[in-house]
Structure 1
Amino acid sequence: MFIAIPNQIKRLAPALLLASALAGPTGAQVVASPAASPASPEDAFITVTAPARPGRVATPLVGLTSKALLDRQPRSIADALRGLPGVSIRTNSRGETSPRVRGGEERQTLVFLDGAPLAVPWDGRVDLGLLPAGIIGSLSVRKGAGAIEYGANAVAGVVDLQTRTSGAVAQAQAGPHGLANLSAAAAVPVGSLTVTVAAAHQAQDALVVAQASALPFTQPDGDRRLNTDLSATSLFGAVGGAAGAVEWRASLLHIDARRGIAPESDRDPAVAAPRFWRYPDWRLTQAQVAAEADLGAATLRGVAWRQWFDQRIDAYRDASYTTRQGREANDDDMTGGRVTLTHPAGPAVLRWSLSGQRGGHRQTDTAFPPGTPGPTLRFEQLLASGGVEADVPIAGVAALTLGLGLDRATYPLTGDKAAQPARQAATFSAALNAQLATGLDLTVSGGRRNRFASARELFGEALGRFLPNPALAPEQVWLADAELAWRGDGVRLSVNPYWARTLGSIGQRVVRVDGRNLRQRFNQGPATGIGADIAAQVSVASRLTLELTGTLLRARAGGQPQLQRPSHEAMFAIDWDPGAFDMRAEVRRIGPARDLDSSGAMARLPPATEINWRARVPLACVGGARVSATAAIDNLTNAVVLPQLGLPLPGRTLRLGLMLAPSPCRTSERQG
């Protein structure tokens, strides 16, 4: 099964050798950080959307640094986020993998790359399964009523991705059914500039089936999951430097992918056909420029971005994927910017922020037969946000941050649907931090945030699967947090109870139209989520660390459980690095949840336990960096993990490979 591994690893050999000459130090793992700490000290300030500053109080933060990403060996950003407290990762029936923070909806969590939003404007989200982990230096997730810089729609949380700004890393892995994961990234000084280059490739012929009994329909015999092939290539480049009092960085990301998506195999095609879809083309290109100017007493920060996205979706009549039923061709573009001015005002510090974004979408649908393209429909959404935050010291032992702003959305173009009115709403927040004792901090925060329905939610029909509802109103989310964080000798502990209430929450219902069951989004009754996030990290020996992270959640709307929200998620991990090897073992527990079956009836998603294992064995040192053999086993026991009906996670998957990463080397490893 693994004969192809050496050849696939050889493809990355030149990148491994190049990266070895460029490698630098890495950071340590971050399980949970105090409210006033940045995500990672190695990251340049301009890559963080809302950076921590002295006296600024922020909502709870969890994250992973370079070292943690190496230990977890993720293929994608979605893999890297699994196990973080309060963060769930779900792959939907369109094949898109999105984060959910504390049970919030997918579109309530925004993803930023080097300070610019990555969400495709038509959809309001981005597929994290296609974003390679190899280009990322570190990541963080900000939960609750986040900073004003994040703008509209960041109501449950924010995923902040920071690309590498120092050192280098390269990895090559292969596994069953043509699985390949190749990546290399390096940041090097070139005169007064810092240049970052990265490339990654993900491929697979099929995912592994955990248990055939969990897939009663549209799944052939064998352990190859139907229609789950993938090929995705990513390129990234950045350059940054200083010009007088201005520091700047420009970057460009391009992803080119094609893939199939698994059909919902709980559905009998004779009764309710699942999606038989393929994505023959999926391309995303995003450019951004960020800068910070020191104006003496004031600081001016800005970022501008431009995104191009296009995809084609082919829908087929049955599981043979031979006869097309329809095609949807999408062409999107986005332009936006944000500027933030920070200055003192007496004992306080004021931070003014203004952001705007235009998202355009062109769509052409084709039915087969006859195969004649329909009219090209144009849609457009404009988002704008502005406001001010004030950092106020209190008696030298506490700090307070207050925020007030306004969000606005307009839809100048609505295709063949009715015109939409402009909508706007105020946003506000408060966060208080106090040091109760040495190493013990308490942060209390709360506020209200707004999310406007995406154009796809308002107008999209998904090749005849959805019934549009242009009357969708915005969501307003009230949030409250209390985080108690303690740092002692070799111990980090964070306990974070939270509460969220969404007014006008957008849910789904099944509507019978002309003998067909169609899904429709609608503003359901108020939704309430209450729970707690827990994170603990204990160094029991100099090279042995124990981790425990978890989330408890009770999420209900209209008297019913909210769909696809597990009642609890927890992970226990052992990270052991005695020198001869580096090993990480994880046990993840996912609690029960509810979902809708094809008829619209409530169904139960059973609980599951997943075991994962990672290992690195040093082989040699080359140019000051360590070359290691790697092994990773996902879902060791072939557990059936059901994020939603008919779409279980893959079964047991073994990946073997090589990794080059900056790391202190033992004398016995050094060569040359």
Structure 2
Amino acid sequence: MMEFRCSRNSSWFFILSGVLMLCLIIGAKSQAAEVKDGDGVFTLGEIEITAKGEESKNTTIEKITDQEMKQFNRDTLGSALNLVPGITLSTVGARNEQMVYVRGLDQKHVPIFLDGVPIYVPYDGYPDLNRFTTFGLSEIVVSKGFTSVLYGPNTMGGAINLVSKRPEKALEGDAGIGMFSGEGYRGYANVGTRQKLWYAQGGISFLRSDFFYLSDDFDPTPAEDGDRRENSYRRDWTYNLKLGFTPADGHEYALSYYKQKGKKETPPYAGTASTETIRYWQWPYWDMEGIHFNSRTPLGDKSYAKARVYYDQYQNSLNSYDDATYSTMKKKSSFMSQYDDYTYGGSLELGTSLVPRNLLKVAGHYKMDVHKEHNLPDPFQRFEERIYSIGAEDTITITDKLHAILGLSYDRQETVQAEDWNYADHRDFPDSDADAWNPQAGLFYSFTDTRKINLSVSQKTRFPSIKDKYSYKLGRAIPNPDLDPEKGTNYELGYQDVLFQRIALKTALFYRDIEDYILGVTVPDPNNAGKTTLQNQNIGDVNQYGFEIDLSAPLTTTLDAGINYTYIYDDNRTNSDKITNVPEHKFFAYVKYTPVKFLSFLIDMETDSKRYSSSDGVRVAGDYTVVNAKATYEILKGLQIEGGVMNLMDEDYAFDEGYPQAGRTFFTNLTYRF
């Protein structure tokens, strides 16, 4: 099953091999060129830090470090987030998009940020997490319930902030190359320099596979005969460059550029539900490009100003073919669709600790989203929306051990243009404006330096997306421009400690009450008398509650271990529709054994219970257990080689029924850090 063959498309692999060798040479000559030690985190890109750069008193946030992403070989954003309790990995199988659910809510309710800048496809709010690789990140910061109002709008279920790298030495970097089953290749290189008054950071990465192998236990279907998954090619390039200026203590100004170029295919439905349509889809390109400016300016000894300005482009194309030959487009269901979107905006944050025992922050946000789409040869259809937000947050030191965080924000969404090409006379949809207030409060008490408890309540909203309001869903629905924001009230009780001076414990109880949840409703079809169709409406009343626990410890000098468990229950109080894509139970565990300093063995396991793939409960993705294992050997300081197996037991499983995941996959990697 393991095929590590070089092909005519893998010349880049040898280029990155040369880059790795160059890094080895440079790294060997620059070991003494250190300015200071640091963790390489681009702190301008963080949201929840204090005026003095200390960690926020909000102990509910969690971080995934660069080291953890590499240790567990989590090359894509979704797979990295899956390490965190309360988060479950999923896919939209029909679109071949990876996503996560945070305590039961999807990406529309939990936006993605890059260094504090919101990044998502303006049309539907769904970034494809498979297109985001982790090679250039220093950390991922996750807020799952009590989310700072400084993030801006639409954080009803939390926020995920991708924080890039910032160099801390005169010369530093890391690089890696690797191969995996399915004629797959991965490679990356990051190089940075830190000087007295400026710094520079750049990176490049590549992730590609021609196909993936299905489990030997997969039962063939008419659209999938097994072995190599049909239509499963992918290719993703990423580039990034950051230039920073540090003219004085506390002053920092950085200009960042990033670009992602992707191409993917969508494997056809391979399940047994007669209601599912087999689609023959390919995406010739899925690209993102942007330029961001981040700054921090001290205002005296106790105040500061932080600014962000950004411009991002999102372009993708979808081709729908007649059949598995992927060569003709003659059927009515076939099309060539293109999205050409962009967004721009900015934010300004002011903070001060002039009032004793208070850290007050105020932030204003502005964002303009523009979506243009067409099916060739039709003209482009244009949508424009703008969002304003202003929020204030006060961290109050009541005593040395007791802190309170109070927050309030006001958000407003306005429709600028929404063209409706479904009618021969061409008209605009009516304007659709909405606003919302979002209050929240949290108490945080420290019994000791390690034993802490938190209690919080927050009311957050999520504005409906352009797709929610205006999409005809390929003729299966009618629009509803009058949709209101969804409203969610989050409650959380958390506790953390270090037991026996060794075992790190973090646990939380959470409850969410959602009103005006957007659900599809069967209504009379206004264009076909006697027929029915679907329409999104604010009729949902949903409760979500659960429990999560995370334990990790160095059991001995050579043995580390950790486990986390999540229980989530979704209660749709409106009708019998199932809440999809969220398992009730998720369990993750790992053990790392290091018999000698230069050699280690790692094994991890994840078990998920079943999840519904359709709201009527007909399609169900069954429960599964996946085991991964690898060995790592340090050839010399900073240079490592590793090899292992993903899905060691060759489990036949799916996040979305009918869209099976990869079976047993072998890999090997060579990495170097200096």
Q: Residue 273 in 1 paired to residue 312 in 2?
A: no
Q: Residue 616 in 1 paired to residue 632 in 2?
A: yes
Identify the residue that residue 646 of structure 1 maps to in structure 2.
658
State the distance in 2 between where 1:202 and 1:172 align: 10
Identify the residue that residue 201 of structure 1 maps to in structure 2.
206
Alignment of 1:509-520 (within 5 A): none
Moved more, 553-562 or 47-56: 47-56
Do the aligned partners of residues 268 and 398 (structure 1) sit closer, same or farther apart at CA in structure 2, a change above 3 Å counting? closer
Q: 1:172 aligned to 174, 177, 188, which one?
A: 177
Do the aligned partners of residues 439 and 474 (structure 1) sit closer, same or farther apart at CA in structure 2, a change above 3 Å counting? same
Identify the residue that residue 156 of structure 2 maps to in structure 1.
155
1:565: Cα distance to partner?
Answer: 1.2
Identify the residue that residue 575 of structure 1 maps to in structure 2.
592
CA contact (8 A) 1:19 1:185 kept: no
Q: Residue 589 in 1 paired to residue 602 in 2?
A: no
Letter paired with 1:119: Y
Q: What is the SS of the residue equivalent to 2:111?
A: strand
Count of aligned residue pairs for this structure pair:
634
Alignment of 1:497-646 (within 5 A): 497-508=509-520, 521-557=536-572, 558=574, 560=576, 561-577=578-594, 578-596=596-614, 600-621=616-637, 626-646=638-658
TM-score (norm 2): 0.89
CA contact (8 A) 2:456 2:492 kept: yes
Identify the residue that residue 436 of structure 1 maps to in structure 2.
447
State the distance in 2 between where 1:289 and 1:22 align: 30
CA contact (8 A) 1:48 1:115 kept: yes
Q: 2:297 aligned to 293, 300, 305, which one?
A: 293
Identify the residue that residue 503 of structure 2 maps to in structure 1.
491
Moved more, 636-645 or 497-506: 636-645
Alignment of 1:61-76 (within 5 A): 61-76=61-76
CA contact (8 A) 1:276 1:319 kept: yes
Do the aligned partners of residues 206 and 235 (structure 1) sit closer, same or farther apart at CA in structure 2, a change above 3 Å counting? same
State the distance in 1 between where 2:222 and 2:515 align: 38
For residues 413-452 of structure 1, give each alpha carbon's deviation from its aligned partner in whole angstroms, at most 9, with x where no partner exists. 1111522331001001111110123420001111111100
1:231: Cα distance to partner?
Answer: 1.3
CA contact (8 A) 2:198 2:247 kept: no
CA contact (8 A) 2:219 2:226 kept: no
For residues 466-518 of structure 1, give each alpha carbon's deviation from its aligned partner in whole angstroms, at most 9, with x where no partner exists. 54333332111100111101025232100111111111112346789779997
Moved more, 529-538 or 13-22: 13-22
Q: Residue 85 in 1 paired to residue 85 in 2?
A: yes
For residues 140-173 of structure 1, give each alpha carbon's deviation from its aligned partner in whole angstroms, at most 9, with x where no partner exists. 2111030011111111121111112134221111
For residues 289-317 of structure 1, give each alpha carbon's deviation from its aligned partner in whole angstroms, at most 9, with x where no partner exists. 10001111211111111101111111112
Letter paired with 1:482: L
State the distance in 2 between where 1:18 and 1:249 align: 27
Do the aligned partners of residues 213 and 48 (structure 1) sit closer, same or farther apart at CA in structure 2, a change above 3 Å counting? same
State the distance in 2 between where 1:452 and 1:276 align: 32
Q: What is the SS of the residue equivalent to 1:67?
A: helix
CA contact (8 A) 2:291 2:312 kept: yes
Alignment of 1:9-24 (within 5 A): 10-20=14-24, 21-22=26-27
CA contact (8 A) 2:360 2:395 kept: yes
Letter paired with 1:550: Y
Structure 2: 5+ residue runs without aligned partners? 32-37, 421-427
Do the aligned partners of residues 56 and 616 (structure 1) sit closer, same or farther apart at CA in structure 2, a change above 3 Å counting? closer
Do the aligned partners of residues 251 and 465 (structure 1) sit closer, same or farther apart at CA in structure 2, a change above 3 Å counting? farther
Q: What is the SS of the residue equivalent to 2:378?
A: strand
Q: Residue 350 in 1 paired to residue 348 in 2?
A: no
Do the aligned partners of residues 540 and 280 (structure 1) sit closer, same or farther apart at CA in structure 2, a change above 3 Å counting? same
Do the aligned partners of residues 659 and 466 (structure 1) sit closer, same or farther apart at CA in structure 2, a change above 3 Å counting? farther
1:70: Cα distance to partner?
Answer: 2.0
CA contact (8 A) 1:251 1:288 kept: yes
State the distance in 2 between where 1:298 and 1:582 align: 47
State the distance in 1 between where 2:238 and 2:523 align: 40
For residues 623-664 of structure 1, give each alpha carbon's deviation from its aligned partner in whole angstroms, at most 9, with x where no partner exists. xxx2221223211112122222211222111111211134xx
Identify the residue that residue 318 of structure 2 maps to in structure 1.
313
Identify the residue that residue 35 of structure 2 maps to in structure 1.
none
CA contact (8 A) 1:49 1:112 kept: no
Letter paired with 2:554: S
Moved more, 259-268 or 68-77: 259-268
State the distance in 1 between where 2:55 and 2:79 align: 34
State the distance in 2 between where 1:173 and 1:448 align: 45
Identify the residue that residue 405 of structure 1 maps to in structure 2.
409
Do the aligned partners of residues 611 and 302 (structure 1) sit closer, same or farther apart at CA in structure 2, a change above 3 Å counting? same
Structure 1: 5+ residue runs without aligned partners? 26-39, 367-372, 663-672
CA contact (8 A) 1:217 1:266 kept: no
Identify the residue that residue 445 of structure 1 maps to in structure 2.
456
Letter paired with 1:247: E
1:601: Cα distance to partner?
Answer: 5.0
For residues 175-210 of structure 1, give each alpha carbon's deviation from its aligned partner in whole angstroms, at most 9, with x where no partner exists. 222211111112222563221111111111112212
CA contact (8 A) 1:554 1:567 kept: yes
Letter paired with 1:379: F
State the distance in 1 between where 2:220 and 2:523 align: 26
CA contact (8 A) 1:267 1:274 kept: no
Identity across the alignment (%): 19
CA contact (8 A) 1:400 1:433 kept: yes
Q: Residue 339 in 1 paired to residue 358 in 2?
A: no
